[in-house]
Structure 1
Amino acid sequence: LTERIKNLTEHFKVHKKDHHSRRGLLKLVGQRRRLLNYLRKKNVDRYKKIIAQLGLRK
């Protein structure tokens, strides 16, 4: 999921007016956020480990 988000982000650096795909990107980001929120509620240690692996949040 994060890899697809990174690929789309690169795509938008070239194709700034591609609003249709941008909607898909926002959908993916929301999906990832919901999954991470669920994981944070269920298992905080695993959540922190995955955040570090993916390089998200500082």
Structure 2
Amino acid sequence: MALDQAQKAQIVAQFAKKDGDTGSSEVQIALLTEKIKQLTSHIQSNPKDFSSRLGLLKMVSQRKRLMKYLKNKDYNRYSSLIEKLNLKDR
């Protein structure tokens, strides 16, 4: 269920603002989005896995908080990230 190193490195390279950037909001949101996609497919095939469901809900709320922070901090970066990740704008 976890991201492998190649996937993670690719996402970091795509969304990093500068070389070695792994902690910016964009990178964190992109990594969480990929984890959420994987966990969603896992839960669809294993509907009784309630501990994974709880982890999914925590990840979704963490991503929501990061998105809210980025929206308040820099709306242009927020809107470009929404387009890149194909997320709904709330």
TM range (shorter): over 0.9
Is 1:28 the counterpart of 2:52? The answer is no
2:46 is aligned to 15
Q: Greater RCO between the two (CA within 8 Å, min separation 6)? A: 1
1:57 is aligned to 88
Aligned-partner residue type, residue 23 of structure 1: L
- State the alpha-carbon separation in 2 of the partners of residues 26 and 54 from structure 1: 19
**1:40-51 to 2 correspondences below 5 Å:** 40-51=71-82
Higher helix share: 1
Identity of aligned residues (%): 50
- Describe the superposition over 1:13-44 as per-residue Cα deviations: whole angstroms up to 9, x where unpaired: 11001011100000000000000000000100
Q: TM-score, normalised by structure 1?
A: 0.96
Structure 1, unpaired ranges of 5+? none
Runs of 4+ in 1 over 3 A off after TM superposition: none
- State the alpha-carbon separation in 2 of the partners of residues 38 and 12 from structure 1: 28
Give the count of matched residue pairs.
58
